[in-house]
Amino acid sequence: MAQRFFDEGSRRKMPSTIGKAEGDRFQEILKQMVSDMHKQIPGSGVYIWDKETQADGHLTVHTAAGTKIFFDRKSRNPSIAQWLENAANGKVQSFGLQLLDRDFSDSQ
């Protein structure tokens, strides 16, 4: 809803739920942000995953700190907690960048 407000301001009434169009818009913005970040901050890392999706849209849980998601491994990738520990110790990596190009139109 915040992104929709940033895009449209108060010109339109905010929906009671967020759906696929908003999820697709978020993916587009995230892809550009990650590209800009990697250009402007060489050696930076991001962690993106596609589990815990909301059924109504192409959206995922985006704040995992303080939840069990923080400690769960994501497929062959380390947990977010391990990724952060590695980065703090000088091993900065990115995971899930392929999801920025994924077509979620047929996904639930």
107 pLDDT more than 90: no
User: How far apart are the C-alpha atoms of 86 and 13, rounded to whole Å?
Assistant: 43
Could you tell me the pTM of the whole model?
0.69
Does residue 60 contact residue 51 with C-beta atoms inside 8 Å?
yes
What pLDDT sits at residue 34? 94
Ramachandran area for residue 75 (φ above 0: left; ψ -120 to 50: alpha; else beta): left
- The single-letter DSSP state of residue 95 is B
What pLDDT sits at residue 106? 60
7 pLDDT more than 70: yes
What pLDDT sits at residue 108? 47
User: How far apart are the C-alpha atoms of 31 and 28, rounded to whole Å?
Assistant: 5
96 pLDDT more than 50: yes
Q: Taking CA 51 as the corner, what is the angle to CA 49 and CA 52, rounded to the nearest 5 degrees?
A: 125
Q: Which percentage of the chain shows pLDDT scores above 90?
A: 27
Average pLDDT, the chain: 78
What pLDDT sits at residue 8? 72
User: How far apart are the C-alpha atoms of 48 and 35, rounded to whole Å?
Assistant: 13
- Please write the tens of the pLDDT for every residue from 46-95: 988 766 554 555 555 555 666 677 777 766 788 888 999 999 999 999 99
- The single-letter DSSP state of residue 47 is B
As given in the structure block, the two tokens for residue 89 are 């110790």
